[in-house]
């Protein structure tokens, strides 16, 4: 559910490990760095606002959940337990992504979150594609009166080779977030 909330709140594309590390989150400013289309110099990730509810899900529900999970599996799977603990500490080197699924066959192991693994879990029984949340966010922001250039910046769109918050843009992300 955390991934679904984050995809919905940020408009992030459902790529493999879309929210890879705790270092991508700024809980004080409610910002998140997403890199969901790293294909060239034009698409190298972006910082987007993170609504308080989504930030709270990660901070107050998911991170404590990881600590409990690490405690539960510590005896039988000490290495995996230690790796999970490391995920809750933003200053440590991590050997797995922040969000993951557990598989028990053939042995307990983590599975990367991706569109394929999200569909395989069958947690969400819906026929809609995962990128539907991007389109919903775009529509909602436009209906709320957000300028198209800001919507493009949040979704990581670029027009004619210039990203909305790129080096050659006249927009300033900090000013737009304040609005």
For range 150-159, the mean pLDDT: 72
Q: Tell me phi and psi for residue 49, to 5 degrees.
A: -65, 145
Pairing mode, strands 25-26 and 109-112: unpaired
% of the chain beyond a pLDDT of 90:
31
Partners of residue 110 on adjacent β-strands: 102
pLDDT tier for residue 137 given thresholds of 50, 70 and 90: confident
Quick one: pLDDT at residue 83? 94
User: Would residue 27 be called left, alpha or beta, if left means φ above 0 and alpha means ψ between -120 and 50 degrees?
Assistant: alpha
Judged by average pLDDT, the poorest of 4-8, 96-100, 115-119 is: 115-119
Average pLDDT, integer, range 62-89: 95
Classified as helix, coil or strand, 141 is helix
Confidence of residue 58 (pLDDT cuts 50, 70, 90): very high
Instruction: Count CB atoms within 10 A of the CB of residue 75.
Output: 8
* DSSP 8-state symbol, 42: T
Per-residue pLDDT tens for 16-45?
A: 888 889 999 999 999 988 887 755 555 567
β partners of residue 163: 158
Instruction: Note the pLDDT tens digit of each residue in 40-55.
Output: 555 567 788 899 999 9
Average pLDDT, the chain: 82
Q: Tell me how far apart the alpha carbons of residues 92 and 63 are, in angstroms, rounded to a whole number.
A: 15
List helix spans (H) across the chain. 2-10, 52-56, 63-73, 78-87, 115-121, 132-143, 148-155, 173-178
The alpha carbons of the chain give a radius of gyration, in whole angstroms, of 17
The pLDDT assigned to 75 comes to 96
Q: What angle (nearest 5°) sits at the alpha carbon of residue 134, between those of residues 179 and 37?
A: 95
Interacting residues of 7 by C-beta distance below 8 A, sequence separation 6+: 14, 18, 130, 133, 134
Instruction: Categorize the per-residue pLDDT at 169 as very low, low, confident or very high, splitting at 50, 70 and 90.
Output: low
């Amino acid at each position: 559910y955390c991934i679904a909330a984050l995809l919905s709140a940020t408009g992030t594309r459902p790529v493999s490990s879309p929210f890879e590390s705790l270092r991508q989150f700024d809980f004080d400013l409610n910002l998140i760095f997403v890199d969901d289309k790293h294909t060239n110099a034009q698409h190298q990730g972006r910082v987007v606002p993170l609504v308080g509810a989504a930030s709270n899900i990660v901070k107050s529900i998911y991170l404590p959940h990881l600590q409990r999970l690490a405690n539960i599996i510590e005896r039988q799977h000490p290495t995996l337990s230690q790796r999970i603990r490391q995920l809750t500490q933003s200053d440590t080197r991590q050997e797995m992504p922040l969000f993951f699924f557990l598989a028990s066959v053939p042995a307990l192991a983590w599975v990367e979150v991706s569109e394929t693994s999200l569909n395989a879990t069958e947690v969400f029984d819906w026929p809609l594609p995962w990128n539907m949340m991007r389109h919903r966010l775009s529509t909602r922001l436009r209906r709320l009166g957000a300028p198209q250039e800001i919507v493009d910046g949040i979704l990581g769109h670029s027009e004619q080779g210039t990203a909305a918050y790129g080096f050659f843009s006249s927009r300033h992300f900090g000013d737009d977030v304040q609005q």
